[in-house]
Amino acid sequence: MRRNSLTVRLTLAASALIGLGLAAAGLLLVVMFRDHVERRFDSGLEDQLEELVAASEIDGAGILALTWTPVDPRFNRPGSGWYWQVSLQGEVVRRSLSLTGMVLSRAGDQSREIASVPGPAGRPLRILRRSITLPGVAGAFDFAVAGPVDNIDADVWRFSAITASTLAVLGLFLVVAVYVQVRFGLGPLIRLRRALSDIRTGRSERMPSAFPDEVEPVVEELNALLDQNRTLLQRARTQAGNLAHALKHPLTIMTHETNRLTGEQAQLMAEQLAAMRNAINRHLSQARVAGLSEAIGMRTPVAESVDGLRLSMERLHAGRGLCVETRLPDALLFAGNAEDLEEMLGNLMDNACKWAKNRVLVQGRNLDGRLILTVEDDGPGIAVNAREMVLRRGRRLDESVAGAGLGLDIVRDIAELYRGTLRLEASASGGLKAELDLPAPEADLHH
């Protein structure tokens, strides 16, 4: 998938926003969960401290005594991280078995009942302190209960891992959902592209309907543009034809009158009138082809056009017993106007029939996205050094054969207007092979 694709850009943008949103949500959830765990942890410490205070009393000697000890067994395991301690004026008067030989630090914020302090062996603790005054004793006892902070951290890390994995799966699902949504949303643009490709390659003449409301105005404008383009091309063809008819009549009258004259001046006028007629035909043909060669979506079946030309050539040269053979696949197409194709092949086939002894062969194929057409005969052929000369306007090697010497030149001009070429080579039978390299519709490149 290309980087400049709308699908990629929209999906990446949505993925970035989804990632940022889920990361922020995950961070917020972890913070909220840690606060919840700390509150629950502190609530447990509160319960333990209240139990410790409830069990405390002053005996007859004025010494603090405990009627029972907290039932939580963690206070009985040395170094468990769970400790309680009672002190009076800085001296420890009672402590848990887990705190034997150690004293809870008073470091931290003394103004808070609950604080984090370093515990025995450097293990961080969360400690709850409260000053309690008991009857019969001057001063207040400092009751302290502590638990390990790493218990809180472990719960938070477990929750963080579960949250991260859950949000990752959710993020992946959302990214896939966004991709599907984007592809579905851009579906009309893909259809629009395919419809334009069908028009360009000639499979369709107009854009189809049934597009979404947001795309429908574009489709209507494209159809209007196609209609206008078609109208302009038809108008150009009509005007070219009208101009040809308008000029042919005066030229015919002038030629007829010139034929009545004699002498060098009459011959000069006849030559100039013929040159004018040839120039008019040449430029009108070029003007017509120039517009059509750029037209959109033209597809001409080659075999159908050649079949008509073959019948015409067999009738035109019926007295010579020529065999005009064609080898053309039915799917072979020319990306241009049928009249232009017939004019090119008609000139080439007519020349081949004039010079052929017995046989003319017309073949065609697609090669690397181009239409290759060949017309070859078994006649005398043309020398290598003379082939370029016969492509020049009005040049003929043999004046005994009828013609004006314009056929090959017109063929080359039309082929070049279609960005094609005309080449002359020797045929396998010793005659001449004319090869046309012309554009083929894109849809037929792999036939």
Q: What is the pLDDT of residue 394?
A: 45
Mark residue 396 as left, alpha or beta (left: phi above 0; alpha: psi -120 to 50; beta: remaining): beta
DSSP 278-321: HHHHHHHHHHHHHHHHT-SS--EEHHHHHHHHHHHHHHHTGGGT
- Could you tell me which of 347, 344, 305 has the C-alpha nearest to residue 326? 305
Q: Are 129 and 108 in contact (CB under 8 A)?
A: no
The answer for residues whose C-beta is within 8 angstroms of residue 334's C-beta and 6 or more apart is 299, 300, 301, 302, 305, 341, 371, 438, 439, 440
To the nearest 10 degrees (0 to 180), the angle between helices 187-200 and 216-259 is 10
**pTM of this prediction?**
0.52
Parse the chain into domains and list their residue ranges. 230-293, 300-444
Per-residue pLDDT of the chain (447 residues; tens, 9 = 90+): 556 778 888 888 999 999 999 999 999 999 999 999 999 999 999 999 998 888 888 877 778 888 888 888 888 888 888 989 898 888 888 888 888 878 887 655 555 678 888 877 778 888 898 888 888 777 888 899 999 988 888 999 999 999 999 999 999 999 999 999 988 888 888 888 888 877 776 677 778 877 887 778 888 888 888 788 777 777 776 777 677 667 776 877 787 777 777 777 777 887 787 777 777 766 666 665 555 555 556 778 999 999 999 998 888 888 888 889 999 998 899 988 888 899 899 999 998 998 898 999 999 999 888 999 999 999 888 888 887 777 765 444 444 444 433 468 888 888 888 889 999 988 888 889 999 999 888 754 333
The domain 300-444 having CATH identifier 3.40.50.720: the answer here is: no
pLDDT tens digits, one per residue of 83-111? 898 988 888 888 888 888 788 876 555 55
Q: What is the pLDDT of residue 280?
A: 73
Give the 3-state secondary structure of residue 207. coil
Q: What is the pLDDT of residue 286?
A: 60
d(CA 310, CA 324): 6
Distance separating the N- and C-terminal Cα atoms of the chain: 27
Count of alpha carbons within 13 Å of 280, Cβ hemisphere only? Answer: 19
pLDDT tens digits, one per residue of 21-53? 999 999 999 999 999 999 999 999 999 999 888
Helices and strands (H and E) in the chain: how many: 9, 14
Give the 3-state secondary structure of residue 324. strand
